[in-house]
Structure 1
Amino acid sequence: MTTHDLVIAHGTVVNSFGRQAAHVVVDGGRVTELVDATEPVPAAARTIDASGQLVIPGGVDGHCHVAQVTGRFRTSDDYRTTSTAALWGGTTTIIDFGIPRDAQESPLDAVLNKKRLAEESRCDVALHGSVVSWDETVPWQLEQLAAEGVRSVKMYTTNRGSTMADGDTILKVMREMVRLDGLTYIHAEHDPIIADCTEQHAADGRIGIEHLHSTRPELAEEISVKETLAMAEYTGAPVYFVHQSTPGAVDLVTEARVRGQEAYSETCPHYLTLDDTVYGSTFPEWYACCPPMRSPETVAALKERLAAGAIHTVSSDHSCYDLSQKRERTDDIRFMPHGLPGVETRMPVTFTAMAAGSTVEDFVEVFSAGPARINAVPGKGTIAPGFDADLVVFDPDEKREVDGGALHMGTDFSPFEGKTLSGWPAVVVSGGRVVIDDGGFHDPGPVGRFVPRNGFIAHRDALSSVQDGVSAISL
């Protein structure tokens, strides 16, 4: 009789395209079989009983910033810390950014540096590149990145003087990404509007953190999305918009898709659950991020777009500053670091936000399957034979209260402090290893793999028959 490495027995397996009661069989770090739950449980070295619980694919967080240096600030984490926190939160693959820290670091060097740092990761890691300014070496550098399996490039339409790319650079990089079968990532906020609005607020003495939301209007995000979509249409480039915070921005992407463009919307848990009243709270510095939180009406409309399927992924935009960094310059938002810790709480915050009006299949789509598919990450996002054994077992009815001090992200706060959430993982399997169970965290050591990504169009075409049960071993 064959003895398998691991069996998750008697659970309800939920993929983005359906569910079934099944025993999940794992060998060699991959799912090898789904056995109908009415059949006997296959023999295994370890069997986990998931009766009454859901089994979903491990999360893929397509937007994380690990050990990120921006100006004089560096996030307070490293790959060991962030990957551990990701696993605690049911995420088994993170995608980080190689963003040049200054003009002396090239896009290629920034990615290779992150790849070296990622050798300490406990979960699998993929990477995005980033281009700030164009020169004659950029096409060659992008070719080298593609050869490394880095098939997307992020550019910022704001943050002049640091990470901002001008329109010429964005358009030229889009052309190169089409040539290399890649994906263009965009942080879309209209810099002239933001710069002017911020200057006006500073002149009026309204430049502290409590005014952040009024210095970055919704119009600035939406006009930048509109301009970028025009460049993507002109070049034929697939484009992915990070952290969209307004229904208007999402609607622009939807309209582009109706016209036949390959365009995608990402949002973040904080935009689905927090609104701009947080800037009048006791600790407004907990919510310093760009774009800022929006009005309650905007948040409600954004959730409607998510329920309707117009938002394709929910990512954390994890940026792990601590409160000492946040509080250095709360008097002037131009000089404080922006970004929130969230890789560990992405699963329960998103699941709770989607509890009304969405199915668990919808949740799996934005938490795991969509990020894996759109980012062309092979072997991820689905529980099926041939896919990596990245699995999460949880009881959707279990509730826990967020205690920022008890989380594992390397910082001393959470923007979700005190909130009661559902959808916390009880068991996490990463690459066939049980890393979270009722005994806590079992540190696997630096076993996380760097995952080279496929070409955007090539991966989409290869996955077209996965829902019919085709194995992904060859992908």
Structure 2
Amino acid sequence: MSLVPELVIAHGTVVNSRLSGAPARQAAHIVVQDGRIAELVDAALPVPAAARTIDARGKLVIPGGIDGHCHVAQVTGRFRTLDDFAITSTAALWGGTTTIIDFGIPRDAQETPLDAVLNKKRLAAESRCDVALHGSVISWDETVPWQLEQLAAEGVRSVKMYTTNRGTTMADGDTILKVMREMVRLDGLTYIHAEHDAIISDCTEQHAADGLISIEHLHRTRPELAEEVSVKETLALAKYTGAPVYFVHQSTPGAVDLVTEARADGQEAYSETCPHYLTLDDTVYGTEFPEWYACCPPMRSPETVAALKERLAAGAIHTVSSDHSCYDLSQKRERTDDIRFMPHGLPGVETRMPVTFTALVTESGGSVEDFVEVFSAGPARINAVPRKGTIAEGFDADLVIFDPAEERKVDGGALHMGTDFSPFEGKALNGWPAVVVSAGRVVLDGEGFHDPGPVGRYVARNGFTAHRDALSTVSA
């Protein structure tokens, strides 16, 4: 170990979440050594000597982002996303995200939950940033408890299940209940894609019978009620089993309110939303390119979007994740005539930081500390990711420097996600990263991107309650 630090970020305003246990805001020099934060020195003191010094005067320094909901190289039916871990991790770093959490979702009935995760772990060896994984269970059999034990031993402490997508990824109620019991036993977290399948199936069939099944009608086939009924049912199962539960991509204030009520009743329940639900509404399906917005749940009414942003600003939403799915327009346009046969999902890992910052801070008056909570600290804490999400001594040196007043327009063609569009094309946004440090390496600065090669580490996560209790002890 060299006596001279590798890097010092000098004179920056360091911002942490108010829930992190670290000072929420301080002027400091950040000393980086061996990929970790070695020390924070008061900015009134001289800048420590280092192999490299970056002057962050007048700028904010926040923890590197943690995107808890990414789909990389995902196979769904006959469609495969066009990215790989090299592409998506590079795009993540361009966007200020230094850790992504992907899903091992079985491709078909022949691939087991364990095999799906191990396959993703092998593919993640090409990642430029750190990677953790979620598991997924579609159907129950007698091997599932053993498989979940093996996943826990691999540091995979969460399992996602879908309450819709009949015939592909949907898990029935019995499976969800049994998996929840196992996750309690293994100190894990149950992830849920909550949309009521019977309502969606019937609504979609009714629209198809009326000839209203093209992409322009997507938002009408998946009503808000379907999401909220599914959240309510799932919360009942979670209460019955005692399982902590995390709802992905919540798109309605009603769904968020159900989680808030459950938390007030003592349940461990969490709400995630995505940048597109905070900034885009269902009028996009009447534009020239409605296929740019094919995702499930779909965009909601302007009134719903406004109310969802209010919930975010009030702290009722715990994380903002991208739900990144990298299809291109040629795939999207194969079956715009019938939403039942087109791929759903949007590219967003690179734009998560500026879209979320703009929605929460610029437009809604939230604080930068609030932004850090949903962008980095909350995802780290809830997903039990060790040494992430906070700028403090001993934590990983994952850091982002930016000027909150700088504004840029989204240019989909200039992004790095391996696709040919962005749903945020042309939007003026604040909160773009100027410098990104990942595991102590400067990967983005004024000279551009510096590809570190496949150095991203696989991150084994802690048990859910064990991590929570350890943090509570440290904070006390």
- What TM-score, normalized to structure 2? 0.98
User: Residue 329 of structure 1: which of 327, 335, 341 is its match?
Assistant: 335
Amino acid at match of 2:80: R
1:60 touches 1:367 (CA, 8 Å); kept in 2? yes
1:279-358 to structure 2, matched below 5 A, reads 279-355=285-361, 356-358=364-366
User: Residue 33 of structure 1: which of 39, 44, 49 is its match?
Assistant: 39
Tell me the equivalent position of 1:236. 242
Structure 2 distance, partners of 1:429, 1:405, is 24
Tell me the equivalent position of 2:372. 364
Amino acid at match of 1:380: K
Tell me the equivalent position of 2:131. 125
User: Residue 381 of structure 2: which of 356, 370, 373 is its match?
Assistant: 373
Amino acid at match of 2:355: V
Shift of residue 465 of structure 1? 4.5
Structure 2 distance, partners of 1:21, 1:10, is 6
Shift of residue 2 of structure 1? 4.2
Shift of residue 418 of structure 1? 0.2
User: Residue 157 of structure 2: which of 147, 151, 154 is its match?
Assistant: 151
Tell me the equivalent position of 2:86. 80
1:2 touches 1:43 (CA, 8 Å); kept in 2? no
Amino acid at match of 2:284: V
1:244-255 to structure 2, matched below 5 A, reads 244-255=250-261
Q: What is the Cα-based RMSD across aligned positions, in Å?
A: 0.8
Q: Is 1:59 equivalent to 2:60 in the alignment?
A: no
Q: Is 1:185 equivalent to 2:191 in the alignment?
A: yes
Tell me the equivalent position of 1:449. 457
Task: Write out per-residue CA displacement over residues 444-466 of structure 1, whole angstroms, 9 at most, x where no aligned residue.
Answer: 00000000000000000111245
Task: Write out per-residue CA displacement over residues 156-177 of structure 1, whole angstroms, 9 at most, x where no aligned residue.
Answer: 0000000000000000000000
Amino acid at match of 1:315: S
Structure 1 distance, partners of 2:245, 2:474, is 23
Q: 1:146 to 1:76 in 2, by over 3 A?
A: same
- Segments of structure 2 that go 5 or more residues without pairing to the other structure are 19-23
Q: 1:420 to 1:241 in 2, by over 3 A?
A: same
Tell me the equivalent position of 1:138. 144
Q: 1:159 to 1:350 in 2, by over 3 A?
A: same
1:6-25 to structure 2, matched below 5 A, reads 6-17=7-18, 18-25=24-31
Amino acid at match of 2:144: V
Shift of residue 467 of structure 1? 4.6
1:418-457 to structure 2, matched below 5 A, reads 418-457=426-465
Amino acid at match of 1:8: I
Amino acid at match of 1:445: G
Tell me the equivalent position of 1:471. none
Tell me the equivalent position of 1:406. 414
Amino acid at match of 1:293: M
Structure 2 distance, partners of 1:399, 1:428, is 18
Structure 2 distance, partners of 1:411, 1:111, is 25
Shift of residue 381 of structure 1? 0.2
Task: Give the 3-state SS of the residue equivalent to 2:51 in structure 1.
Answer: strand
Q: Is 1:42 equivalent to 2:48 in the alignment?
A: yes
Structure 2 distance, partners of 1:87, 1:462, is 29
Structure 2 distance, partners of 1:467, 1:204, is 58
Task: Give the 3-state SS of the residue equivalent to 1:92 in structure 2.
Answer: strand
Amino acid at match of 1:407: L
Amino acid at match of 2:370: D
Percent identical across equivalent pairs? 87
Structure 2 distance, partners of 1:439, 1:406, is 16
Tell me the equivalent position of 2:400. 392
Amino acid at match of 1:228: T
Task: Write out per-residue CA displacement over residues 48-69 of structure 1, whole angstroms, 9 at most, x where no aligned residue.
Answer: 0000000000000000000000
Shift of residue 3 of structure 1? 1.7
Task: Give the 3-state SS of the residue equivalent to 2:37 in structure 1.
Answer: strand
Q: Is 1:463 equivalent to 2:474 in the alignment?
A: no
Tell me the equivalent position of 2:214. 208
Shift of residue 195 of structure 1? 0.1
User: Residue 424 of structure 2: which of 410, 413, 416 is its match?
Assistant: 416
Task: Give the 3-state SS of the residue equivalent to 2:10 in structure 1.
Answer: strand
Tell me the equivalent position of 2:21. none
Structure 2 distance, partners of 1:350, 1:444, is 27
Structure 1 distance, partners of 2:251, 2:87, is 28
1:393 touches 1:428 (CA, 8 Å); kept in 2? yes
Task: Give the 3-state SS of the residue equivalent to 1:44 in structure 2.
Answer: coil
Task: Give the 3-state SS of the residue equivalent to 2:461 in structure 1.
Answer: coil
Task: Give the 3-state SS of the residue equivalent to 2:9 in structure 1.
Answer: strand
Shift of residue 357 of structure 1? 2.3
Structure 2 distance, partners of 1:412, 1:467, is 45
Amino acid at match of 2:464: F
Shift of residue 80 of structure 1? 0.1
Structure 2 distance, partners of 1:467, 1:274, is 38
Structure 1 distance, partners of 2:411, 2:53, is 31
1:81 touches 1:410 (CA, 8 Å); kept in 2? yes
Q: 1:66 to 1:129 in 2, by over 3 A?
A: same
Structure 2 distance, partners of 1:179, 1:82, is 33
Amino acid at match of 1:387: F
Structure 1 distance, partners of 2:294, 2:471, is 38
Structure 1 distance, partners of 2:281, 2:472, is 38
User: Residue 103 of structure 2: which of 94, 97, 113 is its match?
Assistant: 97
